[in-house]
């Protein structure tokens, strides 16, 4: 099970990454969100 701190850090990383990459590669951002959802469901 993932700790809340790990989840919080992961969310921050994804959010920052999304802001940086928003204009260049939306599909990759979507992949990150899918990965995040999978981690939550499995964790």
Residue-wise pLDDT for 2-42, tens only, equals 688 888 988 898 888 778 776 666 677 788 788 888 888 87
pTM metric for this prediction:
0.43
Instruction: Identify the pLDDT of residue 7.
Output: 84
Token pair recorded at residue 17: 């990454």
Instruction: Identify the pLDDT of residue 35.
Output: 83
Listed in sequence order, the residues at least 6 apart from 23 whose beta carbon sits closer than 8 Å to its beta carbon are: none
Token pair recorded at residue 43: 């964790």
Listed in sequence order, the residues at least 6 apart from 4 whose beta carbon sits closer than 8 Å to its beta carbon are: none
């Amino acid at each position: 099970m993932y700790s809340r701190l790990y989840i919080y850090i992961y969310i921050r990383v994804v959010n920052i990454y999304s802001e940086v990459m928003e204009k260049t590669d939306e599909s990759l951002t979507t992949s990150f969100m899918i990965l995040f959802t999978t981690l939550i469901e499995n964790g």
